[in-house]
């Protein structure tokens, strides 16, 4: 079975169970913490290592997360370890996040700018995006900085991209000048 299919199925089952028990918000918070923790190289390699027994992996997860995670999340982690699916944990956590956003009608908007945006500009951008009607009412704005843009911004959501960067405009001008049909060559 493909990694995507495994991640989708396990994430969907956790979402359904969390909704059924009324713990969706807590489980989502736990999965976000887990997603950050799995980025740690040592934890990631421990989960992927087939030599380490499932008992030791479960004990390590208990030691790390039992005090702060909900019982449902911990039971789910133990199930993944028992079923030998712990090596798919980063993919399952990412898919859980996507399904959570879909369930709660949250649109992820990525904004890349040449310099960091202030909070006032970010709030103004949020209002304009919601007012446009192109996204859901609830939006999650993820910002990044790329100095190569020179100025302006790139806005991405729902497989759409709006490039209003100075670098893009300069590339367009360069292309127009190289294809100038009005200049007669001698």
For 12-24, the pLDDT digits (tens) are 999 999 999 999 9
pTM of the shown model? 0.79
- How many helices (H) and strands (E) in the chain? 8, 4
Stronger pLDDT, 186 or 86, i.e. the higher one: 86
% of the chain at pLDDT higher than 90: 86
Supply 165's token pair.
Answer: 């960067």
Quick check: 186 pLDDT over 60?
Answer: no
- Quick check: 113 pLDDT over 60? yes
Tokens of 52: 């380490």
| Domains observed in the chain | 3-102 (1.10.520.20), 106-178 (3.40.30)
The reported pLDDT for the residue numbered 184 is 62
Q: pLDDT by residue (tens digit) across 23-42?
A: 999 999 999 999 999 999 99
Express each pLDDT in 141-181 by its tens digit: 999 999 999 999 999 998 999 999 999 999 998 888 887 66
What pLDDT is attached to residue 32?
96
Helix axes 71-82, 54-65, angle to 10 degrees: 160
């Amino acid at each position: 079975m493909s990694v995507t299919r495994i991640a989708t199925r396990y994430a969907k089952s956790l979402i359904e169970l969390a909704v059924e028990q009324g713990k969706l918000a807590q489980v989502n918070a736990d999965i976000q913490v887990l997603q950050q923790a799995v980025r740690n190289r040592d934890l990631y390699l421990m989960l992927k290592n087939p030599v380490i027994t499932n008992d030791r992996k479960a004990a390590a997860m208990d030691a790390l997360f039992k005090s702060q995670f909900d019982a449902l999340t911990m039971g789910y982690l133990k199930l993944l370890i028992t079923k030998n699916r712990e090596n798919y944990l980063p993919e399952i956590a990412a898919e859980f996040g996507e399904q959570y956003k879909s369930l709660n009608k949250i649109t992820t908007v990525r904004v890349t700018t040449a310099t960091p945006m202030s909070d006032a500009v970010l709030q103004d951008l949020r209002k304009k995006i919601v007012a446009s009607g192109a996204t859901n009412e609830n939006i999650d704005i993820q910002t990044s900085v790329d100095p190569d843009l020179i100025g302006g911004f790139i806005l991405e959501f729902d497989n759409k991209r709006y490039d209003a960067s100075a670098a893009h405009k300069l590339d367009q001008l360069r292309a127009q000048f190289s294809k100038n049909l009005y200049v007669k060559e001698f």
